[in-house]
Structure 1
Amino acid sequence: MTTTADWYVDFADRQARGSSPTYERLTREIARDDELLALLDTVPEPKRQPNLLLAVVRLLGGPVENHPAFRSYVVTRWAAVATELRRRATQTNEIGRSALLLPVLAELPQPLALLEVGASAGLNLYLDRYSYDYDGVRLGTSGPVLPCHLTGRTPPTALPTVTWRAGLDLNPLDITDADDRAWLEALIWPEHDHRRDRLRAAAEIAAADPPRLVRGDLVDDLPALAAEAPADATLVVFHTSVLYQVPADRRAAFIALTVTLPGHWLAAEDPEVTGHPGRPADGLHKNVLSLDGRPLAWTEGHGRSMSWF
């Protein structure tokens, strides 16, 4: 049985290592702190996840630079921390993941109708308005530049043409709302100033042309929203780092539903969630990019790299 301590050690080893020294140190200390672990075990399991706790403390103005200060803050303000843990979800909306989706989307029949499940504020719905750098191969002339180290295939040569875009989320975020913007920024790791800058640039694009975001369930409400897509466009239902937050039975129902919809299903998800065997050679946490259930590549969670199978 995986414990809360195991979860924090795994986060330190496979996600924060080599990416956020602050979070790597802190989550290792949390994994050894019996009092903090006992507090975390009083909230539902999905609400104990490391990234959620760390973001909530940052949102509330608490310190994450060292364990003693973090520990004191969480223990003395646990009621407020627990309230936010129960209220919030990890809705990172990392636009770097657009660089992972682009090679597949650029090769599908154009134009596209994009429908993102777990859309957060919908920033990845604007991937045709960003620019990309695949190891020196540049694509696009507007918006933030998203670098991605790509191995195993050639970079895409053109941006997709998007004629319709919509998002579905249990709690969609409004990019023009100050509280929602603050939550998105709190989810960005301390050392990742480049991600914060990209978020702000993408927010300006979305705010100028707000996306259609529907509050709803990924099983119950997906068919009706998909039916709104124009018939002369290729529908692509996509999601990134979403399914790990969905209960197993609903996850299975969603995957079964995708094969009944027209168009394609594109996902970048944890291999344990999608049933892909094995781990990448470097031992770090990687997601699997798949199209219509067929695995294509290992992908870094924030879009920094992808390695084609």
Structure 2
Amino acid sequence: MTTAEAYARFAGREVRGVSPAYERLSRAVSRDDELLALLDGLPPAKRQPNLLFGVVRWLGGPVEDPAAFHDYTLTNWTTIEAQVRARATQTNEAGRCAVLLPVLAALPQPLALLEVGASAGLCLYPDRYAYRYGEHRVGSGEPVLECAATGLAPPARVPEVVWRAGLDLNPLDVTDPGDVSWLDALIWPEHEHRRARLRAATAIAAADPPLLIRGDLVDDLPALAARAPAGATLVVFHTSVLYQVPVPRREAFVRLVDGLPAHWVANEAPEVLPHEGLPEPPEEGLHNVLALDGRPLAWTRGHGQAITWFA
């Protein structure tokens, strides 16, 4: 896929109808030969729209107007390029816990959670958030994670979590204002509800920080998994992470996690982690597949806003 095609696809599948600013911007970049030439000088993994747009937002540049974005990016490319090369899209969306909850709540309790690609670890607190599936509410407190659920009865309670740990090549620190500002910059411009959710979730994590280990998802996973307490159900999970992992390492990870004494919960795009015999997704746009131990269960939306159960 060319860089132009990747930006057009981002506009049509990921942000269409949910971020007008990024839809306009990504379509404009897909037709902008000057910006495409700059992007093509980057490694393929560093050309993605979320990363470029997040860096420009983090630097205080304009993302609402494509013409202003074009001028700003050309003028400041040296600074932008350095940040793009140094950073990664570590969108730490606590809302994804809403689509993980039905699986986590049904496993033998208590749980030891190990997240691969944990970023700042905000998805390691499914027991601390509240949820609303239509009229059905689970848990208490803030933030309240809204999720449209189809085809399943929402869980009756939150899981019991006795251990939480994360593995990431570049873990972020919720007590570091600079790291939190990067997480904020990765949220799409119009999504003020997600900014409020980020503030509430980071407050929870900062009050009881998780164990976050800097490491590789293949080389360092077994040692971290071995630190989980006996008597708890170990759950290794990840959501919208594997697209950043080269295919050979992705395949090595799947072989590794499949052999661990743990349940494996994956929430990834179907082209990233394929499954046979999937039904059609419920609507246009980008959907992930929620799977338990390699068995696909449901379609989910990227920020946890909807789940459609088909298992």
TM range (shorter): over 0.9
Where in structure 2 are the equivalents of 1:157-172 lying within 5 Å? 157-172=156-171
3-state SS of the aligned residue for 1:244?
helix
Where in structure 2 are the equivalents of 1:69-88 lying within 5 Å? 69-88=68-87
Where in structure 2 are the equivalents of 1:120-131 lying within 5 Å? 120-131=119-130
Deviations 1:230-289 (A, max 9, x none): 110000000000000000000000000011111200011011011136652422110110
Aligned equivalents of 2:306 and 2:283: distance in 1?
A: 13
3-state SS of the aligned residue for 1:168?
strand
Cα distance, 1:142 vs. partner? 1.6
Match status 1:154 vs 2:156: no
- Is the contact made by 2:282 and 2:308 (CA closer than 8 Å) also made in structure 1? no
Question: How many aligned positions are there?
Answer: 308
Where in structure 2 are the equivalents of 1:28-177 lying within 5 Å? 28-177=27-176
Aligned equivalents of 1:203 and 1:158: distance in 2?
A: 22
Where in structure 2 are the equivalents of 1:1-309 lying within 5 Å? 2-276=1-275, 280-309=281-310
TM-score, normalised by the number of residues in structure 1: 0.98
Percent identity of equivalent pairs? 66
- Is the contact made by 2:11 and 2:22 (CA closer than 8 Å) also made in structure 1? yes
What amino acid does structure 1 have at the position aligned with 2:150? Answer: T
Deviations 1:6-60 (A, max 9, x none): 1011110011111000000110011000100000000000100011110000001
Gaps of 5+ in 1: none
What amino acid does structure 2 have at the position aligned with 1:52? Answer: L
Aligned equivalents of 2:10 and 2:36: distance in 1?
A: 15
Aligned equivalents of 1:41 and 1:57: distance in 2?
A: 17
3-state SS of the aligned residue for 2:63?
coil
Aligned equivalents of 1:3 and 1:192: distance in 2?
A: 28
Gaps of 5+ in 2: none
Aligned equivalents of 1:180 and 1:70: distance in 2?
A: 24
Alpha carbon RMSD of aligned pairs, Å?
A: 0.9
3-state SS of the aligned residue for 1:54?
helix
Aligned equivalents of 1:231 and 1:260: distance in 2?
A: 18
3-state SS of the aligned residue for 1:150?
strand
Cα distance, 1:143 vs. partner? 2.3
